[in-house]
Amino acid sequence: MNQKVYPRVSFIIPTLNEQHNLPHCLSSIRSQNYPQSLVEIIIADAGSTDKTISIAKSFHAIVIHNPDILHEQGKARATKIAKGKILFFTDADNVLSHREWIAYMVKPYLDNKHIIGYLPQTIGAPDTNGLDKYLGNLFTDPFTWFVYGFRANPKDYYRVFDILIETDGYKVFDFSKGDFPLFGLSQGVGTQNTFKRNRESYADDLLSGIQLIKERSLIAYVPSAGVYHYHVSGFPNFIRKYRWRVRNNLSQQVKGMGIVNRIKHFSNSRKNRMYLFVPYGLSVVFPAFDALRLCITHKTIIMLWHIPTCFILSLIIISEYLRHIFINSSKLGTYE
């Protein structure tokens, strides 16, 4: 690639007390085989009380304050000052898996300026726990995986979407027909800076993805651009995180975030799968069947985590629904 045509890129990273994750994230960006003079990092910090800000500055990141605290609002604030031609929406618990990541991700832009979105592949980190590796390989949580089916993981897009463009480095799918894929502005996903989020998508990264697709923008899937996602530290953390998410979906204390705001864009089939997840998860048998299939597909027994996570997440949904109906006074707490 000719250095003269390298585009300037900006990494948009919302933070709140991320001193443990942030060094790995920023180090993977600063160690890229890409002109660092063209790499901008913007940290939208929600009031960290640990070493997050000092760590960010040590990697020559721009730090702005995010008084809204939540991730999506932080991204929106950072986007307003970003100078990159391409913006990569990254979380502090993301690590770029190799030094050519940026080069791979900007290749579709260099080939075709009509390609507006850039989708990497989330993968399980090699140095994390088994549950975290399972979630990384799944690309999402088991509920969303069940609801979206083959549209949940970019590795499976070819099963349901036609390919418009295919090269050695990336594929562009036709997302104009049928249900939308699982695509949002997080986990290293990039867009050209010309894309502007509308009011509906301001609080939810997947609604932003739906907006991009509805605008008939071309989106390139770059399978070799792996992102390690350190999603949960263990099963207790998984339970806390998904209790929060289910509770907010029911109460909408954080308005505009969650699957309840995406339902209007779902087909009847996808809506039905939402309600079928609880009996699916509690059955154990059906998750076990899928777990075996996932083990074969991903060539690792780590995917057997699908069985207990489906079961526990089903119990979380039931318990939080009952709490919402009969108590409805529990505070939402801090988002993890």
pLDDT in tens, 6-23: 999 999 999 999 999 999
Give the distance from CA 267 to its chain's centroid: 22
pTM: 0.92
What Cα–Cα distance (Å) separates residue 14 from each residue in 6, 7, 39, 43, 115?
A: 25, 23, 17, 6, 25
Spell out the residues 6+ positions from residue 36 whose beta carbon is closer than 8 angstroms to its own: 30
Q: How far apart are CA 64 and CA 85, in angstroms?
A: 20
Q: What is the pLDDT of residue 335?
A: 47
Read off the pLDDT of residues 306-324 as tens digits, 9 standing for 90 and up. 999 999 999 999 999 999 8
* Residue ranges of the chain assigned to CATH 3.90.550.10: 3-229
Give me the percent of the chain exceeding a pLDDT of 70. 95
Question: Which amino acid is located at 184 in the chain?
Answer: G
Residue 279 confidence class, pLDDT cut points 50, 70, 90: very high
φ/ψ (deg, to 5) at 3: -60, -30
pLDDT tens per residue across span 29-64: 999 999 999 999 999 999 999 999 999 999 999 999
The more confident residue out of 169 and 198 is 169
- Tokens 């899937």 sit on residue: 221
Identify the pLDDT of residue 63.
Answer: 97
Residue 333: what pLDDT?
A: 53
What is residue 298's three-state secondary structure? helix
The pLDDT assigned to 2 comes to 52
In CATH terms, the fold of domain 3-229 is Spore Coat Polysaccharide Biosynthesis Protein SpsA; Chain A (3.90.550)
Q: Which of 176-190, 198-212, 300-314, 321-335 has the highest mean pLDDT?
A: 300-314
Residues 42 and 61: beta-carbon distance below 8 Å: yes
Q: What's the mean per-residue pLDDT of the chain?
A: 92
Q: List pLDDT tens digits, range 233-260.
A: 999 999 999 998 898 888 877 676 777 7
Sequence-separated (6 or more) residues with CB below 8 Å from residue 46: 14, 15, 16, 66, 67, 68, 69, 70, 74
The amino acid present at 9, given as its one-letter code, is: V
**DSSP-derived 3-state class of residue 184:** coil
For 103-153, what is each residue's pLDDT tens digit? 999 999 999 999 999 999 999 899 999 999 999 999 999 999 999 999 999
> Dihedral, CA atoms, 195, 52, 31, 116, nearest 10 degrees?
-10
Q: Which residue has the tokens 């027909």?
A: 177
